[in-house]
Each structure stands twice: as C-alpha cells, then as structure tokens.
Amino acid sequence: MDWLSATKGFESYLLLERSLSKHSIAAYLSDVNKLESFLQDTGKSVDEVIQRDIELFLTFIHNIGITARSQARILSGLKAFYKYLILEDIVKVSPLELIEGPKIGKKLPVVLHQDEIDAMIAAIDLSQPLGHRNKAIIEILYACGLRVTELVNLRLNNVHDKLGYLQVIGKNNKERVIPIAEYSLEQLRLYTDHERKQIDVKPGFQDFVFLNRRGKSLSRVMVFNIVKGLAKAAGIEKSISPHTFRHSFATHLVEGGADLRAVQQMLGHESIITTELYTHMDTDFLRSTLENFLPIFKS
C-alpha cells in the first residue's frame, strides 16, 4: 500500500475510532511523514518497511539533534501507525515490534570548549565556494544559541543589522529577539554581500539567509553534515551536532554568571526548569575543577 492511502486511513482511524483531538492527530501524522521522507529514496511502501529501516531512521533523527524524549514520542507514533496497519490486515508484523525506545534520563549534553569552537572555525577553508557561509553558520549557531530549524528558516528580513539583533521564529511559532555580536554580524555580511549574491536563487527562496549551491534553502541534514565535517577536520572526537552549539552557548553564559531568566529568554524555553539544566552542568564543571586541583577531592 502507498503511504498516502495508509496515512489517510490512519487519520480516519485516529479521528473516528480513537476520538483524538486535531492536535494529537497532527502529531501522529507528522511522525509518519518523518519516516516516509526518510525512506523516500528507497521507494519502499508501508508494507515493505523492515526493522533495519526503523533502526536507521532512529539513528538519523538522533544524529540531527532530536532529543531522546522527542525520539520516544516519534517512536510511539510509529508504533500506533503500524498497530493500525495490522488491524487493517495491511501488514502481518510490525517492523517496530522489537525496537526499544531511547532511555530518557538526566544525561548532560555534550558541550564544546571555546578552543574547540575556535578550532572548528579555523578549519573552514574560506577560499572554497560558500566557505564564508559555513563560517557564518557556526558563528550564529554558537553566538545566538539557535536551534538548527531556526537557523535554516532564518530570513533576510529577520536580520536587523543596524540594531544588532535577530528576530527568530521558534517552537510553536513563538517569536523571540536575540542580540548578535558585531563580529558575528560581520561574518554574516561577508556571506550575504558576496557569496550569496553569486548564487542563482530559485523562486520561493529569495528571502532565506542560508542557501545551498542550487539556490534553495539548506536542510537540517546539510547543516549537520557541515558541523560533522568541521569537527573531523578540527580533530574533535566528541559526538556533536548543530544542537551542541546551543548547549555550549547556554553553558558558557551560565558559567559566566548570566541571569538564568535572560538565558531562558534567549533560548526560547517555555519553562525555567528546562534552562536550569545548565546550572547542573555548571555545578559539574565546578566539581571537576575541584577534583582536578584540590587534594581533598582526590580519593
């Protein structure tokens, strides 16, 4: 069965049989669409998906920075989808039957030190096409703490150059304003005033800040690949993603004594509890310092 027919049937099932809200149905359908998009190049229909496809999909969404909690929710949506397909006798066995969800704990995210960020930026070859674009991407991910989706959706009219801030549309379509340093703005100008003007921009993408060589907006996967490539070139062995720069941005602010409410606002967190994660990271940083340098902590 093709994906469109299966998805339409699933939507009707969720509405009529399970009486779910429009919001919940949209979330389930979004989960299915993510898997369909991932498998698009394989040409597989819904009844041809196997366990290995699901494992590769879960690895992919983990690598692009989707949190363990969000991974678990997506997995739950896909399990519901294949449960429906079994009820309709479209598939005999769910490819998710033996798949376990990610462990959701309080594991602290990976953070880059300033010298590691500097090494990644130094690894960018500015003589190459779009070298300045890649430098501006790293600068803005770190200097503004953007989510990768916010970065790829950034528009030219969201950059308020003279006032020194970015206007960002975050989760749930909520807008926030983030100050941007003059140095980071300068890197952005070097890209937009020169490299970007050499690109044949396709219709519908004229206002996107970051473009690929074909004149369309960057994908999250492309940004992920840029970051991974620079980390490798800089000799960094940590497992990092674009989201690592957001964690680093917040951690460095808290370590420097920034007000937690200000950090919350810049990150666009709904709750201060989410932002408080970085105070725990700061505590761990202090403890590691004591363990390294104070004899009484060495046992």
Question: Can you give the pLDDT at residue 254?
Answer: 78
pTM, to two decimals: 0.59
Question: Can you give the pLDDT at residue 24?
Answer: 87
* Residue 22, domain member (yes or no): yes
Full residue range of the structural domain in which residue 10 is found: 3-87
Question: Can you give the pLDDT at residue 270?
Answer: 67
Residues 83 and 132 in one domain: no
* 18 classed as catalytic: no
Work out how many domains the chain is built from and give that number: 2
* Residue 179, domain member (yes or no): yes
- In this structure, the dihedral spanned by the alpha carbons of residues 139, 145, 148 and 151, taken in order and rounded to 10 degrees, is -60
* 92 classed as catalytic: no
Residues 118 and 20 in one domain: no
Question: Can you give the pLDDT at residue 17?
Answer: 85
* Residue 104, domain member (yes or no): no
Residues 14 and 146 in one domain: no
CATH number at residue 68: 1.10.150.130
Among 132, 133, 147, 220, the one annotated catalytic:
147
Find the angle CA(7)-CA(12)-CA(16) to the nearest 5 degrees. 155
- In this structure, the dihedral spanned by the alpha carbons of residues 87, 88, 93 and 95, taken in order and rounded to 10 degrees, is -100
Residues 177 and 260 in one domain: yes
Low-confidence residues of the chain, pLDDT below 70?
103-108, 270-299
Residues 118 and 265 in one domain: yes
- Closest-CA residue to 117 (of 298, 252, 209): 252
CATH number at residue 253: 1.10.443.10
Residues 188 and 265 in one domain: yes
* 243 classed as catalytic: yes
* 269 classed as catalytic: yes
pLDDT tens profile 45-72: 999 999 999 999 988 888 888 888 888 8
* 147 classed as catalytic: yes
Dihedral sign for Cα atoms in the order 83, 89, 91, 97 = positive
pLDDT tens profile 23-44: 889 999 999 999 999 998 888 9
Residues 72 and 119 in one domain: no
